[in-house]
Amino acid sequence: MVVSSEDLYALRRKIESVDEDLLRLLEERVKLAKEIGKAKGGAFVYDPLRETEVIERLCSLTESLDPKFVSLLFREVISFCRSVQRPTRVACMGPEGSFSHEAVISFLGRFVDVVFVENPAEVFDHVSKDKVGIGVVPVENTTEGTVYSTLDAFAAAEPGISVIGEGRIPIRLVLASAEHSLLEVEEVYSHPQPFGQCRNWLYKNLPGARQIPTSSTSFAANLARTTRKSAAICGRLAAELNGLNVLDEGIEDQLYNATRFWLIGRAAVKPSERSKTSILFNVAHRPGTLFQALEPLYKAGLNLTLIQSRPLPGNPFEYFFFVDFVGDIESQNVKEALDVMKSRVERLRVLGSYPQIKKL
């Protein structure tokens, strides 16, 4: 059916009217956010559990809109409303365009002030010195495993810092270059982990290209921008920020490749039935002590989602352990299990009970 110019004009006027209504409603939401900010006073404005619940509720209220669209839209609305209450400064591993940067945008939106640092230890340092309110650090990748530098940084961090949220983002890798064809690529830059994640693709498509490790995928993209006959394995955000051509995408060998991130800070997190808890502990170097330490968690029926050992500084061939489990520190069964555990270990530190930020 052909629509007349008059009918098309009328439809566009209706769209403009709806847009104006949306704008007025957004203005009203921002005003309410400012009032909430005043009511909070100087309190921390980021509430990951509340923000997740708001977005999930809105997604459940619509049948015609894609939940991903609703989630993306309201993540940015909430991010802006949070910023008018109080600016949020976030530290993550950079430079701009890194997967840690993508995680910040995914969890907190674009209306935050991002400080880029070189490694997880510097993220913890910025939070410790109150240079930022939130830090975002990678914890685990589905292909390459645990990010040990994050665990080591947490073990050395001051007790006041804790995990306040957890989220994961899919790692979709692209081959990006200033060139226009794979035939022109003679060397490839990337962080060592993406090289491992794309091993088969590189063997098949660029078997003769030199692989040059860099400190990050975003730095690799920057090098590819300024170096002829080169390319970078990086994220699409890094490719776009550096004006590179995407020669191929989805080049990771495993179909599902994701990285789990922790959001760290000083703020207390509200108890929740959907929380996870992370702990750190070490035991005496005797047979059976690890079993005895973990037994209370088993008896409490707690589901362990991670157990990882790391060398204990200053004590050769001794270790401390990181454990994640489903449950909140305020739950009675968790309290009782940790009380028993404390009597069986040399040191126990709760790293945080926190909500999981779901990306729809």
Asked if 87-171+258-265 and 276-352 have one fold, the answer is: no
User: Span 276-352: which CATH code?
Assistant: 3.30.70.260
Helix or strand holding residue 226 (H, E): helix 217-226
Q: Binning pLDDT at 50, 70 and 90, where does residue 227 land?
A: very high
Q: Binning pLDDT at 50, 70 and 90, where does residue 359 land?
A: low
- Residue 95: cis peptide before it, omega within 30 degrees of 0: yes
Are the C-beta atoms of 89 and 134 separated by less than 8 Å? yes
Q: Binning pLDDT at 50, 70 and 90, where does residue 239 land?
A: very high
CATH architecture of the domain with range 87-171+258-265: 3-Layer(aba) Sandwich (3.40)
Give me the pLDDT at residue 248, please: 96
Q: Provide the whole-model pTM.
A: 0.88
Q: Exposed/middle/buried for 353, CB within 10 Å: 0-12, 13-18, 19+?
A: buried
Give me the pLDDT at residue 360, please: 52
What long-range pairs does 333-339 form, CB within 8 A, spacing at least 24? 333/300, 333/301, 333/302, 334/277, 334/300, 334/302, 336/296, 336/300, 337/296, 337/297, 337/299, 337/300, 337/302, 338/279, 338/296
Type of residue at 190: S
Sequential DSSP letters for 266-304: S------TT-EEEEEEE--SSTTHHHHHHHHHHHTT--E
* pLDDT per position as a tens digit, 21-68: 999 999 999 999 999 988 988 778 898 889 999 999 999 999 999 999
CA dihedral 80, 84, 85, 86 (to 10 degrees): 90
User: How distant, in Å, are the alpha carbons of 191, 232, 321, 352 from that of 254?
Assistant: 17, 19, 29, 31
Dihedrals φ, ψ of 36, to 5°? -65, -40
What average pLDDT does this structure show over 7-22? 95
Q: What is the largest CA-CA distance in the chain?
A: 85
Are the C-beta atoms of 184 and 229 separated by less than 8 Å? yes
* pLDDT per position as a tens digit, 254-283: 888 899 999 999 987 888 888 999 999 999
CATH topology of domain 174-249: D-Maltodextrin-Binding Protein; domain 2 (3.40.190)
* pLDDT per position as a tens digit, 294-352: 999 999 999 999 999 999 887 777 889 999 999 999 999 999 999 999 999 999 999 99
Residue 224 has pLDDT above 60, yes or no: yes
Q: Which residues, in sequence order, are CB contacts of 294 under 8 Å at separation 6+?
A: 304, 307, 323
Q: Binning pLDDT at 50, 70 and 90, where does residue 133 land?
A: very high
Give me the pLDDT at residue 199, please: 93
Residue where the block lists tokens 């510097």: 122
Give residue limits of the domains in the chain. 87-171+258-265, 174-249, 276-352
Average of per-residue pLDDT values in the chain: 93
Residue 254 tokens read as 């495993």
* CA 73 to the chain's CA centroid: 18
